Amino acid sequence: MDFSISEKMQTIIGMINEFVEKELIPLEPEFLTTPSRKMIPRIEEKRQMVRQIELWAPNHPKEYGGMGLNLVEHALVSEALGRTPLGHLVFGCQAPDAGNIEILYKYGTDAQKEKYLRPLIAGKIRSCFSMTEIDLPGSNPVMLDTTAVKDGDDYLINGHKWYTSSADGAEFAIVMAVTNPDAPPYLRASMIIVPTNTPGFNLVRNIPVMGHAGEDYFSHAEILYQSCRVSQRNLLGPEGQGFVLAQDRLGPGRIHHCMRWIGICNRAFDLMCSRAVNRIISPEKTLAMKQIIQSWIAECAADIRSARLMVLHTAWTIENLGVKEARQDISLIKFVVANVMQKVIDRALQVHGGLGMTDDRIIAFYYRHERAARIYDGADEVHKVSVARRILREYEGKQVK
Ligand SMILES: Cc1cc2nc3c(=O)[nH]c(=O)nc-3n(C[C@H](O)[C@H](O)[C@H](O)COP(=O)(O)OP(=O)(O)OC[C@H]3O[C@@H](n4cnc5c(N)ncnc54)[C@H](O)[C@@H]3O)c2cc1C
């Protein structure tokens, strides 16, 4: 098994690490205390620097101005960028745009690609993904109430969504709506591109999450689609294939998220160790000398390392054998890494004591924002049940001695 990292990737990761340390981590105090919309010029300034050093849109296709890195390569990039909440946004590979770009690239018509994909990859516009509904379980997405009914050459969309992340300030939403109510459950829904300035696209509010409603990119919206009329040319992919597209969107997306979370773990771990070594808790004794802290540090190191290998192996499997072969691994990494991250952030916060609760360090931001990792893109329990079912199926009719 070859664990080596190519020279090209070593150079890229080295450049990213330097940029994160010099340009982004120093921006965090301002980011943590400034409304997000006011930060846009500062973020654009940094994005321009990233374009100049030719590291813009690392995972996106070269023909559209990206770097065209493969999934394993981008996994390493995502880890490096995860060290700061600004990383992915400044390098043009942030969710939910990254997932939308993937499906627009694979399923978009030429006209859709020119109108939406090209400016999205260039970072000139943002987008959002509107599937989860306020009154129905996101864990069982075939239960959808939102409808898109044909009316002449158009669709009329009606529905009530929430948790449409980053809708505030986005140019368009990719909306999941029922177009074929009489089809079998997995063939009922379609994805439709809805510009956010369409009459009937009503952003009700940015939902307060863990004490912050946020704004612009850093927000999650409740949206009412009220007789929202868009051309049938805005259908993305074939009608009734919304769940097929959603699956395509989620596979590589989970690698991006999981490696971003590993990056968060690395940052929290570094902060924890540095604090432990430097915090004097009694004359001539530091926190690092306490066995309980040493035990946490060793456990976190082992957890992070094993989680990281699991994700890289899953990325390698997707890249070489396809998403289908990696299905079980994709579910495993989703809940394993989310839980490792939560534990590492929590330990890092605890080691910092009162300081950990403040916005003088990045840990509290991660604590607030990343709890959701165990819920979105499939809650822990949903993945566990699905993995266990698949494993147990292999034992049916078998006698193990
Ligand atoms: C920060 C954040 C960002 C999000 N961004 C987006 C977005 O951009 N676009 C979008 O469309 N949605 C988004 N979501 C929504 C997300 O996809 C849903 O919250 C998720 O699918 C869970 O659905 P639910 O909240 O309706 O919970 P439910 O489906 O009501 O589930 C609640 C809980 O029940 C348990 N559970 C559910 N099913 C099972 C089962 N089969 N077996 C055992 N236990 C089970 C789990 O513990 C689960 O957490 C986001 C959510 C969050 C928190």
Distance of alpha carbon 161 from alpha carbon 176, whole angstroms: 10
Report CA(108)–ligand 1 centroid distance (Å).
Answer: 27
The protein residue with its alpha carbon nearest to ligand 1, atom 37, reads 139
Q: Could you tell me if residue 401 is inside a domain?
A: no
Containing domain of residue 200, as a range? 127-236
Q: Examine the pLDDT at 165 and tell me if it is beyond 90.
A: yes
Residues 213 and 79 in one domain: no
The residue from 98, 122, 146 where one domain ends is 122
Nearest to 86 by CA among 137, 136, 32: 32
φ/ψ (deg, to 5) at 102:
-60, -45
pLDDT per position as a tens digit, 84-134: 999 999 999 999 999 999 999 999 999 999 999 999 999 999 999 999 999
Half-sphere exposure of 286 (CA within 13 A, CB side): 11
The two structure tokens encoding residue 202: 């009503």
Atom 41 of ligand 1: nearest residue by CA position? 382
Separation between Cα atoms, residue 237 and residue 107, nearest integer Å? 5
pLDDT at 382: 96
Asked if 134 and 145 touch (Cβ cutoff 8 Å), the reply is: no
Residue 63 and residue 20 share a domain: yes
- Give the residue from 204, 236, 268 where a domain finishes: 236
How many angstroms does the Cα of residue 161 sit away from the middle of ligand 1? Answer: 13
Please give the tally of structural domains in the chain: 3
**Alpha carbon distance 394, 386 (integer Å):** 13
Identify any residues that bridge with 359 across adjacent strands, giving them in sequence order: none
Per-residue pLDDT tens over the stretch 381-390: 999 999 999 9
- Tell me which residues have their CB closer than 6 angstroms to ligand 1: 96, 129-132, 137-139, 163-165, 220, 372, 375-376, 379, 381-382, 385
- Let me know: does 80 contact 235? Beta carbons within 8 Å: no
Domain identity same for 248 and 112? no
Of 153, 155, 100, 168, the closest CA to residue 131 belongs to: 100
Per the CB < 8 A criterion, the answer to whether 167 and 124 are in contact is no
Residue 183 placed within a domain: yes
For the four alpha carbons of 20, 23, 26 and 27, in that order, the dihedral sign comes to negative
Q: Domain check: are 250 and 331 in the same one?
A: yes
CA angle 63, 67, 72 (to 5 degrees): 125
Compute and round to an integer the Cα radius of gyration of the chain.
Answer: 22
Do 372 and 277 fall within a single domain?
Answer: yes
Supply the residue whose CA is at minimum distance from atom 40 of ligand 1. 382
Q: Are residues 131 and 85 in the same domain?
A: no
Residues contacting 349, CB < 8 A, separation 6+: 356, 357, 363, 364, 367
Q: Which amino acid is at 208?
A: P
Distance 379 CA to ligand 1 centre (A): 6
**Residue owning the nearest CA to atom 4 of ligand 1:** 163
187, 212, 236: which is the final residue of a domain?
Answer: 236
Q: What is the CB neighbour count within 10 angstroms for residue 326?
A: 23
Mark whether 53 and 136 lie in a shared domain: no
> For residue 287, what is the domain's CATH number?
1.20.140.10
Question: What does the pLDDT read at residue 249?
Answer: 77
Reply yes or no on whether the pLDDT at 1 is more than 80.
Answer: no
Ligand 1 centroid to Cα of residue 5, in Å, is 36
Residue identifier of the C-alpha nearest atom 52 of ligand 1:
376
Give me the residue label for tokens 């690698």.
255
Q: Is residue 2 part of a domain?
A: no
| Distance from the alpha carbon of residue 334 to the mean position of ligand 1, in angstroms | 13
What is the per-residue pLDDT for 2? 83
- Whether residue 152 lies inside any domain: the answer is yes
Q: Whose CA is nearest to atom 11 of ligand 1?
A: 131
**pLDDT tens digits, one per residue of 334-356:** 999 999 999 999 999 999 999 99
pLDDT, tens digit (0-9, with 9 covering 90-100), for 211-242: 999 999 999 999 999 999 999 999 999 999 99
Pull the structure tokens for residue 321.
């054998």
Residues 281 and 296 reside in one and the same domain: yes
Report if residue 400 sits inside a domain: no
Task: Give the confidence band of 323 by pLDDT, cuts at 50, 70, 90.
Answer: confident
Q: Which atom of ligand 1 is nearest to the CA of 95?
A: 8
Q: Which positions ≥6 away from 50 have C-beta within 8 Å? A: 19, 56, 90, 91, 92
What is the whole-number distance in angstroms between the Cα of residue 372 and the centre of ligand 1?
Answer: 9
User: Which atom in ligand 1 lies closest to the alpha carbon of residue 379?
Assistant: 49
Percent of the chain predicted with pLDDT > 90:
96
DSSP assignment string, 46-106: HHHHHHHTT-SSTTS-GGGTS----HHHHHHHHHHHTTSTTHHHHHT--TTHHHHHHHHHH
How far, in Å, from the CA of 16 to the mean position of ligand 1? 33
Mean pLDDT of 23-37: 96
Q: Which ligand 1 atom sits nearest the alpha carbon of residue 369?
A: 1
Asked if 264 and 387 sit in the same domain, the reply is: yes
Euclidean distance between CA atoms 110 and 314, whole angstroms: 32
User: pLDDT of 249-267, one tens digit each?
Assistant: 777 888 999 999 999 999 9
65 — pLDDT class (breaks 50, 70, 90) = very high
Whether residue 117 is contained in a domain is answered as yes
Q: Which two tokens stand for residue 235?
A: 């259908």
Residue 247's pLDDT band, with cuts at 50, 70 and 90, is confident
Q: Report whether 161 contacts 132 (CB < 8 A).
A: yes
Top mutation candidate among 163, 166, 176 for ligand 1, by most atoms within 8 Å of CB: 163
Examine residue 311 and state whether it is found in any structural domain, yes or no: yes
Residue 374 token pair: 């165990």
Q: Is 399 contained in some domain?
A: no
What's the CA-to-centroid distance between 17 and ligand 1, angstroms? 33
Q: Both 107 and 132 in a single domain?
A: no
Contact status, residue 325 vs residue 262, Cβ threshold 8 Å: no
Query: Which pTM does this prediction carry?
Result: 0.96
**Residues 254, 389 share a domain:** yes
Specify whether 217 is located in the same domain as 325.
Answer: no
The pLDDT of residue 366 is above 90: yes
Whichever domain contains 140, its CATH number is: 2.40.110.10
Atom of ligand 1 lying closest to residue 385 CA: 42
CATH of the domain at 53: 1.10.540.10
Asked if residues 205 and 221 have their Cβ atoms less than 8 Å apart, the reply is yes
Give, using CA atoms, the residue closest to atom 51 of ligand 1. Answer: 376
Minimum CA distance residue for ligand 1 atom 33? 379
